[in-house]
Amino acid sequence: MEVKMDEAALRDFLRRDFTQVADDFDFVEIAPPFVTMALTASDKHLRPGGTVSGPSMFALADVCAYFCILSVLGPVALAVTTNCAIDFMRKPAPGRLLCRMELLKLGRALAVCEGRLFAEAEPDRPVARASLTYSIPPGQSERPRTA
Amino acid sequence: MEVKMDEAALRDFLRRDFTQVADDFDFVEIAPPFVTMALTASDKHLRPGGTVSGPSMFALADVCAYFCILSVLGPVALAVTTNCAIDFMRKPAPGRLLCRMELLKLGRALAVCEGRLFAEAEPDRPVARASLTYSIPPGQSERPRTA
Amino acid sequence: MEVKMDEAALRDFLRRDFTQVADDFDFVEIAPPFVTMALTASDKHLRPGGTVSGPSMFALADVCAYFCILSVLGPVALAVTTNCAIDFMRKPAPGRLLCRMELLKLGRALAVCEGRLFAEAEPDRPVARASLTYSIPPGQSERPRTA
Amino acid sequence: MEVKMDEAALRDFLRRDFTQVADDFDFVEIAPPFVTMALTASDKHLRPGGTVSGPSMFALADVCAYFCILSVLGPVALAVTTNCAIDFMRKPAPGRLLCRMELLKLGRALAVCEGRLFAEAEPDRPVARASLTYSIPPGQSERPRTA
């Protein structure tokens, strides 16, 4: 799958579209249809006990799906998340929290991603899984409409 | 349905269990099996254009489900969210964002909540809907196990 | 909300679009944005012990959402379900299983429904809850596109 | 991961626990934490046009998750599905429909699976993705409780 935006281009979009949280996230690997990002957890992302909060994990999955789509679709104005289903399975070990997201479908109207979150030290022990749907504004996707 | 914790008691739990975000949320109504809470959106909750971000809406739904369960279950140590399915449907109008959550099931092991998010000025035009499952630690629920 | 199709018209669509299963389902109430349908459970819908199976509950929710959208959108060729999140909460009591579905959003590209399933004898004790998204083919909805 | 039940043992359970639908499903591969099953679609599984219906895809994902858990947990009385999130992405090509399910977590109270459905002829073009949670009756899992 062709990379339409490289890491530098995606980073620019991150700074532009996610102003308030751009410093929280990092790109780890851009290999469409996969994109891996990391959350640099600070105090605001933690619950008592030092566990990364559910909303912070949701935020990581959401931003990672967004850039997973953008890496393939190119630098277009993208619509919002329309749906997310997330399962929280374990408490993450301390350290960087990663999300590896896969683009499963890029239709004319909808894009569907699926991914897993895991502590960098334990890649084979997912702490959460998430699937997300983004709606794509009319005319932005060159692909034949499948949904 | 009996109220096991009133607003003052719930507020204490909010300050204890959600230290970093306690100031972001407010109780609007506690009427089990319904609990309504509000997000006082500040800059950190907004995306460019002034829209409340998806993760902020998720956070509101998550905290509201937690206190919806606690209001009926009483002041016990509650386990974490295990699942959330959320649909984002419209951009919220400016102003306070509310979430009205209903406890649909309180079993021995699992509690299920469902609710809607809406701008305070437009209660009949939901901006999002969410369903969440919380796992309850063994021995914390007096109810007969149904799941 | 205006009813674009009455019960007779919806029944015709049921026979046409759901040939193999039309006899399994019945309309109970058409009151947009709400539509209530019933599953007439026969042996093929049951698991050992006489419980209605998960797939049969899914089927009821799916068909009910479809006709909930059609009752408002009118007799148009509707695209498929794109997403469903369903929580199974209790075993249904014997007798007819009902689903009451509400249309939460009808956009140009997507329609979102949410509903509950319950035994006819116990309307206040939901056995399951479900939310579904349907994609609407281009040009079928007169509404301004919101997603 | 140890296989606690081989194909013959799983097939016995399929005939016992899924009496009405046992003939619809086949085991393709048992390689814990993965189990792949097939739906032998007949008229009752199809919508007009010959497409496999949503409820039939749900049924395949549900039964595949059940046996994915059983293959690792062993021959125990398993509780029901508590949650499913499913995304329908494409129309399946004609022929056998497969589901490859992975067990992501086996806790004391909950098991979480995730998988994809695809036509046998197009394994790299998923027609749907699904995640499911099963609740496990107390005392059935030897594993330390994690949720």
Nearest-Cα distance to chain D for B147, in Å, is 6
Nearest 5°: phi and psi at A16? -85, -45
* Residues β-bridged to residue D2: none
Do D104 and A114 make contact, defined as CB atoms within 8 angstroms? no
Name residues whose C-beta falls within 8 Å of residue D4's C-beta, 6 or more positions apart in sequence. Answer: D70, D71, D72, D73, D74, D75
CB atoms within 10 A of CB D145: 15
Give pLDDT tens digits for C83-92: 999 999 999 8
Q: Which of residues B75 and A10 earns the better pLDDT score?
A: A10
| B147·D110 Cβ contact <8 A | no
The two beta strands, B81-88 and B128-135, are antiparallel
| Three-state secondary structure string covering B20-52 | HHHHHEEEEEEECCEEEEEECCCHHHEECCCEE
Question: Judging by DSSP bridges, how do beta strands B110-119 and B46-47 pair with one another?
Answer: unpaired
| CA of C143 vs chain A CAs: smallest distance (Å) | 15
Tell me the pLDDT tens digit for each residue of C12-40: 988 888 877 888 999 999 999 999 999 98
pTM of the entire predicted model: 0.93
Q: Where do the H-state alpha helices sit in B18-140?
A: 54-73
- Ranked by mean pLDDT, the top range of C22-31, C42-51, D42-51, D75-84 is C22-31
* Res. D144: pLDDT tops 50: no
**Considering only alpha carbons, which residue of chain A is nearest residue D106?**
A89
Chain D contact probe: residue of C12, C46, C58, C83 with most D CBs at under 10 A: C58
The token duo for A15 is: 């700074």
Write down the H helix ranges in C5-147.
Answer: 7-17, 54-73
Distance of alpha carbon A25 from alpha carbon C143, whole angstroms: 37
pLDDT of C143 > 70? The answer is no
pLDDT digits (tens, 9 = 90+) for B108-127: 899 999 999 999 999 999 99
Mean pLDDT of chain C: 88
Interface of B with D in 73-132 (CB under 8 A): 79-80, 82-83, 85, 109-110
User: pLDDT grade, residue C135 (50/70/90)?
Assistant: very high
* CA-based radius of gyration for chain D: 15
Higher-pLDDT residue of C45 and C30 is C30
- Distance CA(B37)–CA(A63), nearest Å, equals 26
Q: Do C129 and B147 touch (CB under 8 A)?
A: no
- Which strand (E) or helix (H) includes residue D129? strand D128-135
Q: Would you say C80 and D54 are in contact if contact means Cβ atoms under 8 Å apart? A: yes
Banded model confidence at residue D24, pLDDT cuts 50, 70, 90: very high
Q: Is the pLDDT reported for residue A29 higher than 80?
A: yes
The arithmetic mean of pLDDT across residues D87-96, rounded, is: 90
Please, which chains are in contact with C (at least 3 CB pairs closer than 8 A)? A, B, D
- Cβ of C85 within 8 Å of Cβ of D89? The answer is no
| Banded pLDDT at B147 (limits 50, 70, 90) | very low
The ipTM assigned to this model is 0.91
Question: Is B54–A80 a contact, with Cβ atoms under 8 angstroms apart?
Answer: yes
Q: Which residues of D touch A107 (CB under 8 A)?
A: 89
**Sequence-ordered list of residues with C-beta below 8 angstroms from that of C28, at least 6 positions apart, any chain:** C36, C37, C38, C98
* For residues C95-120, average pLDDT: 95
Three-state DSSP class for A110? strand
Assess A135–C contact: CB distance below 8 Å, yes or no: yes
Task: Say which of D80, D85, D147 has its CB closest to residue B82.
Answer: D147
Q: Is the dihedral of CA C67, C111, B130, D116 positive or negative?
A: positive
By C-alpha distance, which of A33, A27, A42 is closest to A1? A33
pLDDT at A142 over 60: no
Chain A residues touching residue B17 (CB < 8 angstroms): 47-48
Per-residue model confidence (pLDDT) at position C144:
43
d(C-alpha D80, C-alpha C89), whole Å? 9
Percent of chain C whose pLDDT exceeds 90:
59
**Of the candidates B125, B16, B10, which has an alpha carbon nearest to the alpha carbon of residue B64?**
B10
A114 close to A101: Cβ distance less than 8 angstroms: yes
Report CB contact under 8 Å: D131, A131. Answer: yes
Q: Let me know if domain A7-135 sits in CATH 3.10.129.10.
A: yes
Neighbours of chain B (3+ CB pairs under 8 A): A, C, D
Residue A146 confidence (pLDDT): 43
Cβ atoms of D40 and D26 within 8 Å: the answer is: yes
Chain C residues closer than 8 Å to B116 by CB: 104
Neighbours of C79 (CB within 10 A): 18
On the 0-12 / 13-18 / 19+ scale of CB atoms within 10 A, B143 is middle
How sure is the predictor about A47, in pLDDT bands with cuts at 50, 70 and 90? confident
| pLDDT tens digits, B24-49 | 999 999 999 999 999 987 777 877 67
Q: Which residues of A touch C147 (CB under 8 A)?
A: 79-80, 82, 135
Nearest to B132 by CA among C101, A86, D145: A86
A132-to-A85, A96, A111, A112, D63 alpha-carbon distances in Å: 7, 22, 8, 6, 24
- pLDDT at residue A67 above 80? yes
pLDDT for the residue D147: 41
Q: Do C131 and B105 touch (CB under 8 A)?
A: no
Tell me which of B1, B34, B105, B108 to substitute to probe the interface with C (most C C-beta atoms closer than 10 Å).
B105
State residue B2's pLDDT score. 78
Burial of residue B114 (number of CB atoms within 10 Å: 0-12, 13-18, 19+): buried
Whether A83 sits inside 8 A of B80 (CB atoms) is no
Residues 6+ apart with CB under 8 A from A132: A61, A62, A65, A81, A83, A84, A85, A112, A113, A114
D77 has a pLDDT exceeding 80:
no
Average pLDDT score over chain D:
88
Mean pLDDT along residues B62-80: 89
Helices C54-73 and C7-17, interaxial angle, to 10°?
130
* One-letter amino acid for residue B126 of the chain: P
The DSSP H or E segment spanning D66 is helix D54-73
Span B44-59, mean pLDDT? 85
What residue in B sits closest to D139 (Cα-Cα)? Answer: B138
DSSP structure class, residue B79: -
**Angstrom distances, CA of residue D74 to CA of A86, D25, D35, D68, D110:** 27, 20, 14, 10, 15
H or E segment to which residue C131 belongs? strand C128-135
3 state DSSP class of B2: coil
Chain A CB within 8 Å of residue D30 CB: no
Q: Which tokens go with D28?
A: 């393709």
pLDDT for the residue numbered D43: 77
Query: CB count, 10 Å around CB of B33?
Result: 16
